[in-house]
Amino acid sequence: MVWKRGDNGVVMQKQKGMLTLWKSVMWLISFVKSHKGWMIAGIIAAVAAAVIEIWTGNLIQQLTTKAEQGESQLVVNTVYMVLIVIAVGVPAKYFMVYGVEKGGARAMRDLRNYTMHHIGQLPIHYLEKQHSGDMVSRLTNDVQLINQFMIRDLPQWFYHPLLFIGCFSYLLWIRWELVLLSLLLVPISLFVAQWIGKQLQQLTEEAQASTGQMNVILQDTLGGMALVKSYLLQGLLFRSYQSLLQFTLQKRLAVSKREAIVTPILFTLMISPVVFAVLYGSYLISKGLFSTGELIAFLYLLNLCLEPLQNIPTLITHTFEMSGALKRVYEIVKQPVERQEGSTISISAAPPVAFEQVSFAYDKGTPLLQDLSFTIDQGKTVALVGASGGGKSTVIKLICGFYPLAAEHGTIRIFGESLHDCNPEELRSHLSVVTQDSYLFSGTISDNIGYGHPHATLHDIIASAKLANAHSFIMELAEGYQTDVGERGGLLSGGQRQRIAIARAILKDAPILLLDEPTSALDTETEMLVQEALNVLMKDRTTIVIAHRLSTIQHADEIWVMENGQIVEAGSHTQLLEQGGTYARLYHQQFVAAPAEGKEAVSI
Instruction: Give 337-390 pLDDT, tens digit per residue.
Output: 888 888 888 888 889 999 999 999 887 767 889 899 999 999 999 999 988 888
First to last CA, the chain: 64
Averaged pLDDT, 402-408: 86
Rounded distance between C-alpha atoms, residue 138 and residue 208, angstroms: 8
Helix or strand run (H / E) with residue 161:
helix 154-182
More confident of the two residues 221 and 400: 400
- pLDDT of 599 higher than 60: no
Rounded distance between C-alpha atoms, residue 536 and residue 467, angstroms: 7
Count of CB atoms situated within 10 Å of the CB of 261 = 13
Lowest-confidence segment of 189-193, 308-312, 323-327 by average pLDDT: 189-193
Rounded distance between C-alpha atoms, residue 183 and residue 551, angstroms: 87
Within its chain, how far is the Cα of 269 from the centroid? 40
Averaged pLDDT, 134-139: 80
Cβ atoms of 549 and 567 closer than 8 Å: no
Note if the pTM is more than 0.85.
no
Count of CB atoms situated within 10 Å of the CB of 137 = 24
Q: How confident is the model at residue 259 (pLDDT cuts 50, 70, 90)?
A: low
Q: How confident is the model at residue 185 (pLDDT cuts 50, 70, 90)?
A: low
- C-alpha closest to that of 423 among 333, 337, 543: 337
Q: Residue 601: its pLDDT value, please?
A: 35
Please give the angle made by the CA atoms of 559, 561 and 564, to the nearest 5 degrees: 155
Q: Is 1.20.1560.10 the CATH number for 21-333?
A: yes
DSSP assignment of 560-577, as one string?
EEEETTEEEEEE-HHHHH
